[in-house]
């Protein structure tokens, strides 16, 4: 079930309506949620204040970061090493104490990803402004810096790579980025459900909460534990909310509002 983002309440209001007093189990996307979207992905460093808020919340509740980014990159940008982090859209999951968390789609795609990353890198060299981001289980082709007149060339590049590997790849469009992944039934929503099991966060005591801003986060918003009894929160500029259909149940306007909401959960 989806709704127009502009018509959704804030998360505090949504939680107040439920009034169930459950302990939050919090899942957070990184870019656009814990750090603003920036032109250069390597500049998306979490602020000291957001780091303080997340650390404080993690002392009172379970906090996991679920990002499309490479896990090691997310951990470096956060400056925190005591959280569960699921990178590459949930393919690569790491626990700060026990190490790697395995799942049905943990391995078996490495050779394909390496080959596709090489192809995308070579093809993108001829398109000014592109940025290729290799990841554990995918390759991201960023084109925020590409002249709009060249966007069709970026799309053709992606189409050609998919055609070269029939039925092996899928592409997820994001904000000026194409994410090319193995065609495996795994996503952020599957990762959230898996973590709820592994971390023993199921049952009447817990309220699963997921905050995300991108199209890929819709997989988490529609995950059974979030959609049925949990809370999905879309982070979106109010100027864009009128045109966005989402499975989330609440909205926040920006990263600052995310910080305020998480700070409230920590108290």
Distance CA 257, CA 74 (A): 21
Global confidence as pTM? 0.86
Q: What confidence score (pLDDT) does residue 64 get? A: 99
Distance CA 262, CA 266 (A): 6
Q: What confidence score (pLDDT) does residue 157 get? A: 98
Contact between 158 and 139 under an 8 Å Cβ cutoff? The reply is no
Distance CA 89, CA 148 (A): 27
Task: Tell whether the torsion through CA atoms of 101, 102, 106 and 110 is positive or negative.
Answer: positive
Q: Note if 29 is an active site residue.
A: yes
Give 10-residue mean pLDDT values along the chain (267 residues).
94 83 95 93 94 97 95 95 94 94 82 96 96 90 96 98 96 88 91 97 96 95 96 97 96 98 93
Delineate the domains of the chain, giving CATH numbers in brackets: 21-103+186-265 (3.40.50.1000), 110-182 (3.30.70.1020)
Q: What confidence score (pLDDT) does residue 19 get? A: 62
Distance CA 66, CA 86 (A): 5
Of the residues 29, 31, 214, 219, only one is catalytic, namely 29
Q: What confidence score (pLDDT) does residue 137 get? A: 84
Q: What confidence score (pLDDT) does residue 230 get? A: 96
Contact between 18 and 200 under an 8 Å Cβ cutoff? The reply is no
């Amino acid at each position: 079930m989806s709704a127009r983002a502009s018509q959704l309440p804030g998360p505090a209001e949504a939680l107040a309506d439920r009034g169930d007093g459950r302990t939050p189990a919090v899942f957070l996307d990184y870019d656009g949620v814990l750090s603003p979207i920036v032109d250069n992905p390597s500049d998306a460093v979490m602020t000291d204040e957001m780091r303080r808020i997340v650390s404080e919340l993690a002392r009172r509740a379970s906090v996991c970061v679920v990002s499309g980014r490479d896990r090691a990159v997310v951990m470096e940008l956060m400056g925190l090493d005591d959280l569960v982090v699921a990178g590459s859209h949930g393919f690569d999951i790491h626990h700060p104490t026990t190490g790697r968390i395995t799942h049905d789609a943990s391995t078996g795609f490495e050779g394909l990803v390496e080959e596709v990353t090489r192809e995308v890198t070579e093809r993108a060299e001829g398109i000014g402004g592109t940025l290729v981001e290799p990841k554990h289980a995918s390759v991201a082709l960023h084109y925020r810096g590409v002249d709009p007149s060249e966007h069709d060339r970026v799309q053709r590049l992606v189409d050609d790579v998919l055609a070269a590997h029939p039925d092996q790849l899928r592409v997820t469009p994001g904000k000026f980025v194409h994410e090319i992944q193995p065609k495996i039934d795994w996503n952020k929503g599957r990762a959230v459900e898996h973590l709820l099991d592994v971390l023993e966060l199921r049952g009447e005591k817990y309220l699963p909460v997921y905050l995300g801003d991108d199209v890929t986060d819709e997989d988490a918003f529609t995950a059974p534990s979030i959609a049925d009894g949990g809370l999905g929160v879309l982070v979106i500029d109010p100027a864009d909310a009128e045109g966005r259909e989402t499975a989330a149940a609440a909205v926040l306007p920006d990263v600052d509002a995310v910080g305020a909401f998480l700070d409230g959960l920590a108290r």
